[in-house]
Every structure is written in C-alpha cells, then in structure tokens.
Structure 1
C-alpha cells in the first residue's frame, strides 16, 4: 500500500482539528512528525491539533506540542479506555494525570477526546464511561480548555450528560456523526461541529445534510488520521495533507468557494481553541 497522491493546495491556511500522528497506519511507511507537518504545510494545512486517547498518547501529544509551534495538544481518556482502567482499578489515577497534563502549558488547548461510545463498549462499561466523561467536562471548565467530544451511537446520552453538567464555553463535536436534527441540537448548545473525511463518502448524505444546517461560524474540519480517509482514497491511510479533499467537498456542498470556507474554518478554530498559535513556516 502507498500513501495517496497529494491534492491541490488550498487557497488559505486551514487547521486539522483532530489528528493522531502517533498512531502508525498499517502496511505503509510511517511518516515522521516532520514529514507529516511538511506534507501538510505544502497544501496549506499549517496547524494541527494532536489528540491523545490514553495516558501514553496524551503524554506524546504534550511533548510534541511543546516541540513544534504548529501543533497544540488535546489530552483525555477515550471513552473506550475508561472501562478498561476502571476494571483495573486505575481510572481515578489516570484521570488525575490527565488533569495534570491539562494544566501543563498553553500548548494544551483541549480536553479530548472524551465522551461516550456504545459501539465497542456494552452496557457493562457505561457507568465508567459516564463517570469519565463527567470528570473531563469538569476538567475542561476548571482549566478553561475546549472540550472535544467523541460520540458514537450515543447522541441522546451525550446531550443528557452535557445538559446535566453544563456545557463548557467552547465545545467541539469531533468527527460529527449525526443528522441535521442532531446538528441543530448541538449548535443550540453552542458547540462547534468538526467534519471528517466521512462527509465525502457516497453513503453519508446525512452528514452533508447536517453540514447544510450548520452555521458557517461553527464549522471545523479534521482528519482523525490515520483513520477516515476521504474519497477517493478510502481504504488507504489518512494524514493531514489530505484535508483539501474534505474541504473542497464541503465547500461544494455549501455552495461557497474553498477560499471562503478555509477562512471560516481558520477563524472558527481560533475561537474554539482559545486563540491563535504560530503557523509552521
């Protein structure tokens, strides 16, 4: 397997709002951080939010954000991680370390990805997931960080927990996976909706309908790399340099220019994550 060809450069700098550079894709040469950032910068993806899903990933995200001005970190325990840690009696200890990492510097801009995932975790894991999600919400408020939510097959419960805890000032629905009605529910609560390569899939009409009702000042874009590679490269590995494919499909769906959408996404990202950070030269 090979990396997909490089798409046409975007007309204005855009941010990959959710990436896992520490997760090597299968059956392809691994890109170093420098290679990943250079390929991204070549198509005008000049900044990246690196997301940690467990303790090693969160530590890696923080160290990488400290080392590269174009990267900021998001730290959390993925909802599927919470039941495993709870069963081992280590959930509270892990949450305490995430809390410490969250306060380690301005290069940490988000608490995420946290939330609920009922696809891989059954009823036996829900209690731990809910507890972990609530603790991450409180963490985001305590540190004045954005809350980055992972939501899979759990729309109603995610909203119920947010309503009960009180939604943070800045909340991002990572890899938005709902329909137009759910999009409006999230928007009404002040959330940003981050669209991944899935919005380009032929069978994802619900996501394109959701995009159409999302106010332009709430739209973000992401890769979730190395996963969710946009069309026409489904089945190949994903990386930040492929975001132009997603952005151009989104702009076409919205009936606006790629330049206008890029500018919207860049401004929205700054608002979502609490200010600018240096671009990669």
Structure 2
C-alpha cells in the first residue's frame, strides 16, 4: 500500500484511560499481522476493531478474521467503486447474494462499506452503484445489521436513497465527509457519524464544524487504516493504535474532556454495531 514501506510507522501514543473502538479499519491492507495490530491497539486503549471488507474476497477475509479474534468484528460489502467492476447486472446480483450469506454470520455485525462514490466512478458506473447501495440497505434491514456508508462526492444521492429505501435502524456514516448542515440532518434521523484522521488536517475546518454540531451520543472514531493518518503523522502508515491521536483532536474540537468523549464513543460504537 502507499507509504507503508517508505516511511516508518508513527510511535505509540499515550494510552487512553477509557477504552474505545476503531469503528472502521482495513487490517488486510496493513503491514503488521492481525495479532500484532490487535495487540498494539489494545496497548493504547483501542480494545475493539471493526474490520471492513470492500469486495467478496476481502469480505470473506473479514468474516474469517473476526471469527478468529474475539476483539475484531466484521463488516461485509461491495465497495461502491467495486460494484461497476463486477460485471453485468446478473454478476452484480450474484455477488450481492454472496454478501448476504456472509452478512448472516454471527461475527459479522454490519453491512458495509456501501454507498456511493462519484469521485473515482464516472457517470457510467452510477447505476450499478445505486443498485448495489439499495441492495445492501435491504440486506442490512433483513438481517438486522448495522449499515456502514461510504459517501464521497455524493451526499445528495446518498441521503435521497436512504430516505427512499428507509434507512436501517443503525446507520453509520464512515469517514464522515459532510458539512455541519448535513450533520444536523443525520442527527435528526439518529444516524451515527464516524470521524477519521482527516478531521485533524489543516484544510478540514468544514469537518470540524460538522463534528462540533454532531451530538456526542452519535459520534464514533475510526482510522480507515492504512489511509487518512492523523496529523502530525500524515503521509505515514495508519493503524488502529493511532485512534487516540484522532480522538484527542476530536475532544478539543467538541470542547469536551478526552475521557468524556471516549465514554460516549465506546458506548456509541457498541450500540451502533450491536455488540
């Protein structure tokens, strides 16, 4: 993966006093073994990880990993960018049927990351993305799983489709990317907003504005590792053990103590994912 072999990993941060979860990580894309990643995270108070699949193969891996590690839970899905690559509609529906089978496994607590991404997929892929998104919403509702949403440059359509289909009871906006107005919209519907390391970036004031108005009882923290490494380590490989760096920056933005925000985040993540 980019940067993982070019720059050293950031140091371990000071441990959190209140343990929390990394609500969204990709252990299959990180250099350390799963055992090493889990141990490093636990050593700084990140005691639960949600491992997220982005295609069939990675979703199977997520389910297998969650079955092997008690502190790891799985989310399974076809990433929005993956949906147009699967093939024709019949091939896509066959892949979605496999996702549904994986989502029924007890260690799989969420369907995701699904949603829409208009940044890397052109107009020709929109129909496949929207069909896939609607199917994932249906799977999550049918199985009583949380829905984990990837929303990039597609806010209006994501919100519209959620309203048209009826969002699952537990819906999480992973790597929240909207503004304060959208945060209020999500809050009014009881949707969770998970903030990643990019909330620490200098140019991310709109994200901090959104975090500031997001209710503490609907806020989660994530790494999206190995991506979106928080400042001051931007450009170096991200990992679940860096959650404390982001959480401390979030607490500052919200005018809360680290411990108070951590208590909310821990309870919120357990409630959102049902563990």
Measured against aligned partners, the alpha-carbon deviations of 1:157-188 in whole angstroms (never above 9, x if no partner) come to: 00000000001100000000011001111112
SS in 1 for 2:175: coil
Alpha-carbon distance, 1:89 to partner: 5.1
Alpha-carbon distance, 1:88 to partner: 8.4
Correspondence for 2:105: 104
SS in 1 for 2:126: helix
Correspondence for 1:35: 36
SS in 1 for 2:163: helix
Paired residues of 1:86 and 1:128 also in contact (CA < 8 A): no
Long gaps (5+) in structure 1: 25-29, 276-281
Correspondence for 1:229: 229
Tell me how many residue pairs correspond in the alignment. Answer: 269
Confirm or deny that 1:6 pairs with 2:12.
yes
Correspondence for 2:61: 60
SS in 2 for 1:86: coil
RMSD: 0.9
1:1-281 counterparts in 2 under 5 A? Answer: 1-24=7-30, 30-87=31-88, 90-105=91-106, 107-275=107-275
Paired residues of 1:45 and 1:241 also in contact (CA < 8 A): yes
- CA distance in 2 between partners of 1:198 and 1:87 (Å): 35
- Once the two structures are overlaid, the 10-residue window that deviates more, 11-20 or 181-190, is 181-190
- CA distance in 1 between partners of 2:162 and 2:232 (Å): 36
Could you state the TM-score of these two structures normalised by the residue count of structure 2? Answer: 0.96
- CA distance in 1 between partners of 2:193 and 2:50 (Å): 15
Paired residues of 1:18 and 1:50 also in contact (CA < 8 A): yes
Could you state the TM-score of these two structures normalised by the residue count of structure 1? Answer: 0.94
Alpha-carbon distance, 1:85 to partner: 0.8
